[in-house]
Structure 1
Amino acid sequence: MTMLIPFHINDLKAIVNYRQGETKLAQHMQCLSFESGEKNLEAALLNAKQHGAKFALLGIQEDIGPRANLGRAGANQAFSASLRQFANLQSNRYLQGQECLVVGQITLENQLDEQADLETLRRATAELDHHVITICQAIFKVGLEPIVIGGGHNNAYGLLTAAKQAFNSPLAAVNLDPHSDFRPREGRHSGNGFSYAAANGALSYYHILGLHELKNSEATLEQLSLFGASWHSFQQIWVRREITLDEAISQICQNLNHTNLPVGLELDVDAITKMPSSASSFAGVPLLDACHYVYQLAKQCDCAYLHLAEAAPQCHEAGIDAGYRDVGQGISELIYSYIQGRLN
């Protein structure tokens, strides 16, 4: 069973590091104005929008999707690490804070221990899809943009499906990721969110930035080609330098805008060098390049949401405290990059 655990104003107050003469984002950020999970969710979301909210920060506290894809646990801790860091950034002329509504976390009542088999994990991932769709659809319906943090990349399926239902249109998606997550539809997991979304009509156009040429099977590449997906590989941009990142982003934005579809902006943090995740990359994309990607796509395209998946603080090589620090700081920069792009 899954449920939405709303984030309350007292929860925000509890994580603020107060300092005389300074105001933190958390002191202006909004929370939902009800006490009982999904009850009257749409009304609470609309109330926040009427008070200036534009972005809905939503956590997904799960790691069953990555585990169902034979990955590591830990993606269930990303939201708490990220929010604590982001909420303590300064409220000033660049961002006040009231633009951000902290919705809360979608939480699995039964997290499934490490003994759970693949069939059980994949069945639970499919159940989670329904709750992600329900909650995200309510966010889209009132005109807020979800910024979804934590959990596996399996949740791209729920986001794309919710957006399709809310906008009555399929989406175009761009994904910074060494993996295409377009694996066969063999049961739900973090490696096939986009192939399932394509199959149900939620995904009409798909581009992968930073796809690693040797981390995707030939069968997956063939499936991508048959769908009509496109990509710039990690090797093309960061190794062989055949094209610059800015040139690739310019091409991506031009093609996305040509579709006239709402855009799902996706990022798997395992694309970022040494970011703690379910499949960390030693040779990856610099964090600043990832922020630049998010900012430019948010600014130039009709983005419906930002999805930051797979961050796993407990997977940091120096321990969980270092993981909370690095995930929190990295995700905070990505969140602000998106907000800058959308507000500029």
Structure 2
Amino acid sequence: MLKFYSKKKLLAHTNPRNGELKFGQAAITVGSLKELKDKPQQYVLLGIPEDIGVRANSGKPGASKAWEATLSSLCNIQQTQYCQAHNVIVLGELDCSQQMQQAETLKPSDTHYLEKLGELVTQIDHMVTQVIEKIVGQGKIPIIIGGGHNNSFGNLKGASKALEKSINCINFDAHTDFRALEHRHSGNGFSYAAEEGFLNKYFIFGLHRNYTSQAVFDSMAEVSDTVQFSFFEDISVKNKKTFTEALQEAEAFCTQQPFGLEIDLDAVANMGSSAMTPSGFSLEECRRFLHYFSAKKTCTYIHICEGAPNRELFPGQVGKAIAYLLSDVISE
């Protein structure tokens, strides 16, 4: 279920240079989940190399490659007093190979193609839940690199079970992923988590009006005491509120209790992702968002997802972007 990484694995992705110390050389690894308990590091890095949930949502594949791309970039950033790789344990990756292989055997022409993919997503949900529950249960903060946004469900369920209560969530996203409770896919992780009692308050930061259906708006209106959002257009086009005011709005709604922090790279303009957009936040705004909320004491986990290296405009940008985001979390 879980492939633990050794130091040798990290060094295989690292290009050493005389007089320098890089992330891959300085980061900590473990051989079991039990070892986390005795480690002082606060953050635990986990990859989920799958895009079945994206495909089950009729989306474009490629998110399964984001973790490998991230590792290649991350291992080569500098370890310094300002960017401290020894603050994080690189756990490894969730083994989704069996589900990915099964997904490849399914035929899109099959009437039940999407539902069968959804069954595979449910299997991955179970694995994600188990690992996140164990990490959070040992007082650590998992940083999860996806993979599709379907994994939000396992993140919320695992954290909720570890804390023995429902948790809140702030989602930096162009979409709500609060869609109908049909087969499991990347578009209904939050609605399933809310339905099953793992998600309490939910805030979507920078929602795009053009890609949210009236049915979703109506369903959110019915639960407006627990689901709120800010429009991207209100922040970046109409200037109805500043970026800082939008941060504070989400903060006031969610951060008084333990919360998960979700970042969908679909929200970043021209980022290689499953639903790439020409209009969105800049990477710098995404970094600012992550730095702001990851520093909160109630931040329980961090999930960066939907990056698709096969769709990027210039080679190597998705992995490098995620490495920047990670460095903003682990650095002083």
TM range (shorter): over 0.9
Shift of 1:45: 2.3
Conserved? CA contact 1:68–1:190, under 8 Å: yes
1:238 pairs with one of 229, 236, 239: 236
Shift of 1:226: 1.5
Conserved? CA contact 2:171–2:264, under 8 Å: yes
Pairing 1:35-184 to 2, within 5 Å after superposition: 41-47=32-38, 49=39, 52-108=40-96, 109-111=98-100, 112-113=103-104, 115=107, 117-184=113-180
Pairing 1:1-344 to 2, within 5 Å after superposition: 3-33=1-31, 41-47=32-38, 49=39, 52-108=40-96, 109-111=98-100, 112-113=103-104, 115=107, 117-228=113-224, 229-257=227-255, 260-300=256-296, 302-317=298-313, 322=315, 325-340=316-331
What one-letter code is carried by the residue in structure 1 that aligns with 2:20? Answer: E
Question: Alpha carbons of 1:317 and 1:25: their partners in 2 closer, same or farther (altered >3 Å)?
Answer: closer
CA distance in 1, matches of 2:305, 2:43: 17
Which residue does the alignment assign to 1:38?
none
Shift of 1:96: 2.8
CA distance in 2, matches of 1:337, 1:121: 34
1:187-233 CA distances to partner (integer Å, 9 max, x unpaired)? Answer: 10000000000001111101111100121111111111222211110
Which residue does the alignment assign to 1:37?
none
- In structure 2, runs of 5+ residues without a counterpart are none
Shift of 1:328: 1.1
Question: Alpha carbons of 1:338 and 1:227: their partners in 2 closer, same or farther (altered >3 Å)?
Answer: farther
Shift of 1:88: 1.0
Secondary structure of 2:86's counterpart equals: coil
**Count, aligned residues:** 322
What one-letter code is carried by the residue in structure 2 that aligns with 1:45? Answer: L
1:287-309 CA distances to partner (integer Å, 9 max, x unpaired)? Answer: 00000011111224510011001
What one-letter code is carried by the residue in structure 2 that aligns with 1:110? Answer: Q
Shift of 1:107: 2.3
Shift of 1:150: 1.5
CA distance in 2, matches of 1:314, 1:208: 27
Give the root-mean-square deviation of aligned CA atoms.
1.4
Shift of 1:42: 3.0
CA distance in 2, matches of 1:32, 1:124: 28
CA distance in 1, matches of 2:246, 2:84: 32
What one-letter code is carried by the residue in structure 2 that aligns with 1:339? Answer: I
Secondary structure of 1:127's counterpart equals: helix
Quote the sequence identity (%): 35
CA distance in 1, matches of 2:132, 2:115: 26
1:302-328 CA distances to partner (integer Å, 9 max, x unpaired)? Answer: 10011001111112245xxx1xx1111
Between stretches 131-140 and 95-104, larger displacement belongs to 95-104
What one-letter code is carried by the residue in structure 1 that aligns with 2:3? Answer: I
CA distance in 2, matches of 1:292, 1:161: 27
What one-letter code is carried by the residue in structure 2 that aligns with 1:151? Answer: G
Shift of 1:338: 2.3
1:254-284 CA distances to partner (integer Å, 9 max, x unpaired)? Answer: 2223xx3201001100100111111001111
Question: Alpha carbons of 1:227 and 1:301: their partners in 2 closer, same or farther (altered >3 Å)?
Answer: farther
CA distance in 2, matches of 1:338, 1:131: 25
Secondary structure of 2:99's counterpart equals: coil
- In structure 1, runs of 5+ residues without a counterpart are 34-40
Shift of 1:84: 1.5
